[in-house]
Structure 1
Amino acid sequence: MLRAIALQLAAGAARARRDPDWEAAFHRAIEGATGRDRGIARCRYAGALSEFPGRAKSEYIKALPDLRSDHYSISEIWNRVAYIDLHAGQYKDAAHAFDRALEASLRQKERRSDGIIYVGMGSVFGALGAYPRALHQFRKGLGQSASISQHYEMRIAIALTLAAMGLRAQALEEATLMAAEVAEAATEPQPCLSILAAMRLLNGDVPGAEEALAQAPIHNELDRLRWHVVRAELDRRAGNAAGAQRSMDQVNVNLMRNVRSTGRLFPEVYTLRGVVIDTPPWTVRCSLAGPVRLWMYDIELPLRSTRPAAGLLALLVTHGGRVSRERALDALDLPGRTPDARRKALSAAVAELREVLGWPESVAVQGACWPSAKNRCGWSRSTQPQAARTCSARGAMTPGCWSGDLSA
C-alpha cells in the first residue's frame, strides 16, 4: 500500500513539473496497485488528463470496478463523467451519468455530493431549453449546498433560468436578494454583481446595470464571460459597436458555447464571436408498448412502470391529457381499501409523476391548464404493432400541462 501511494505521489509530482514522462509515471502507479488503491490511482490519472476530457472519461470508467464498494467515490466518478459529457454537449450521456451519481450518493450517510449533482441535472435541461425542469433541479440543489460558493452559483443559475423563462422581474428580485446577502457577508464586492447587472439590464435599468457592473470583480473565466457579455450589451445598446466587439473579444469562445442560457438572453453579442445558441424543440414521448416508458428529448426519465404514476401517465396520454378524479380512481390500480385511502394514493401518484417529469406544475390537479399560443403543444398518437402507442408532445418552451380534477 505504501509503495502504491509513493508511486501516485511521484506521478503527481511529475505532472506538476510537466515532466515529459508523467503519463508513464501514472501507468507505473496503476500497474503497481491493486483493488481500491488501483481505482484511486486511475482517478488521479484521470484528473491529470483534464486537457484531454475523452481520455479522462475513459480512465474514470475503468476505475469504477475497483471502487464499487465506496459509494462516495462512485458518486464522484459519475459526477465527473457527467460534467465531461455536459461540456461536450452529450446531454443524454450526461443525464445518465448524473442519475448514476445521485444513485450512489443516496447510499451515503452524509450525501455531500447531492447539491452539485442537482446543479448538473439542471444544467443538462437548461442547456436544452427545458427551463421549468432545470429550475426545479437548481432549487433542489440549493437546499443541498456543500459550500457558500456553491450556494451562490445555484442562486445565479436560478436567476438566469428565471430570466430565460421570461420571468425577468422575478430574476431581478432573485439577483437583488443574492447581491444583498453577499454584501452583508463579504468584505469586498463579489462576481455575482455581474449577474445583478445583467438582470437590471434585462429589466431596462441601464444606469443600475452600469453601477453594478462597475463594482463586479473578475476571478475566473466564467466571471470574465459574464462581465464582458453585459459590458458588450450595454455598448451595443448605446450604439458603440466597436466597444461591444472589443468586450466580446476578451471572452473564451469555447466557454461561450457551454454557457447557453446567457447566449439566449444576449444573442446579439454572442453572434459577435460567431456563436449562435440553438434551442431544440422540447419533446416529451411516452411509449405504451409493454411497460410504460417516458423520454424527454432522447433522455429516458426514471419512470417505474409498476408504480401508479406510470398508470396515471398512460391514462392521461390515452385520454387527451385530461381526466377527472373519478375516472382516475376507477381506472387505476391504487392501494387502499377505503375511498379516502385511494384518494390519498392518487395524490401520491400525481406527486410522483410531477417528480418524474421534473417540475411541480407539470401536472395540474384542478381546472384546465392550456399552454399559451406561443408555446402550444400537441399530442399525436400512432398505432404500432400489437396496438402499442407512442405519443409525443412538442413545445418551443413549455409542454402542455396534463390536467384534471385529481385533488384528494
Structure 2
Amino acid sequence: MKAIAWHGKHDVRVDTVDDPGIVNPRDCIIKVTSTAICGSDLHLYDGYIPTMQSGDILGHEFMGEVVEVGAKSTLKKGQRVVVPFTISCGSCYHCTKQQFSACDNGLPADNQDIAQELYGQPMAGLFGYSHMTGGYAGGQAEYVRVPFSDVGPIVIPDGVEDEKVLFLSDILPTGWMAAENADIEPGDTVAVWGCGPVGLFAIQSAFLLGAERVIAIDHFPNRLKLAAKFGAETINFEESAVYEALMVMTGGIGPDAVIDSVGLEAHGFFVDNVLDQIKVSTFTGTDRAHANRQAIIACRKGGRVSMPAVYGGFVDKWPLGAFMEKGLTLKTGQTHVQRYLKPLLTAILEEKIDTTFLISHRLPLEQGPEGYRMFHDEQNEVTKIVLKPGM
C-alpha cells in the first residue's frame, strides 16, 4: 500500500509499504477514505518530537471503512468509522474514569520505558506520533490497523459525508475539551491564543459553553477572519501589544479564562521567544513557550488556564510566581477523545457545530509531501488539508 512516511526533518515521502494485518483479536483494519494533516504533525515535520524513526508512517486524523475485524472486535465489515487519535484499552484504571489519554495499556510494553523516563509515567498510545507514544503506524495511508477497535472508533450513519465528521478524530474534541477545561461560566470573557484548527474549534466551543466574549489572538489575517466569523474579537499580535490590548478590552481585569492553542513552536519576535529559539537551535532547550507565558500574565486573578497545545520537553522562564500569586488553575493533557465522540457527533448531525469551514485544500494521498510543505510554509492560506487515498 501507499503511505506517507517520515524520513527526517522536513523530509516526508510517499512510500510503498506492507499492508497491515490483524495482530490482536480486538484489532480491525480500516480502508482509509479521508485523512488530514494536523498542526501537531508539523512538530514532527520540524523535528521537535523525539524517538521518530525513518520510515514511520504518519497521521492521526483519519476515518474509513472497516475491511477486516479480529475475533473480539465489535465492528462489522463495511461500517464507516472515525478513529480517535488516542489508543486506549477502555478497561484500565484511567479509562474507567474516562481519562482515555492516560490509558495504562495503550503502549506496547517495549515502548513504555521511553515515556516512563521522559515523563515519569507512560500515557496512551497515539497513531503515527513517535515510538514514545507506541510506534503505531499512522492513518496517512491506504490502510491502517486499529487496536482496541471495540473501544475507540465511532460508527458514522449512512449518508453523512466524511468531511462533516472527520475532525471527530482529534481537533474537534480537542477544541471542545480545551473550552471545557476553561470552566467557562455565563458572562465570561475567554482569550484564545492561536487560530489554527484547534484554536478555531475552541472558539466555537467556548461560545457554545456560555462565553459572552471570546478574544482571538494570532498574526495570520485569514485565520483571524475565520475567528471573527464565529463572533470572536481579534488581536493581531504583529500590530498590537497583546497584554495592553487585553487590559483595554477587559477594563483592566484580564480575561476570565485563557486557552493556549499554540504550543511549542510559538511565533513572534519577542525577547523570550528569541532566547527559546537560540536554545532550541543549540540543543539546550526544546520548546518555545511564549504564548503560554503571555496567557498566564494576561489572565485575571483567580482565572483559569487551559492548555490543549502540545509541549514536548522542558520550559524555562515560566512565570510560576505569577501563576501562584494570581491564584490561577491549569488544566491540560492529550484529549480524552472517546469521551466526546457521541455528544459531538450528535451536535454535528443537529448542525450545532460546523466543521467543514476549516478545510482549505483537498489533495490525493500521493501529494501528501507537498501538503506538508504548504501547511508549514503558507499558514495564512492553508487552514486544513484533507488527503484522499484513491482521489
Q: Same fold (TM over 0.5)?
A: no
Relative to the length of structure 2, the TM-score reads 0.24
In our comparison, the structure showing a higher alpha carbon Rg is 1
Q: Which has the higher contact order (CA 8 A, sep 6+)?
A: 2
Relative to the length of structure 1, the TM-score reads 0.24
More strand by percentage: 2
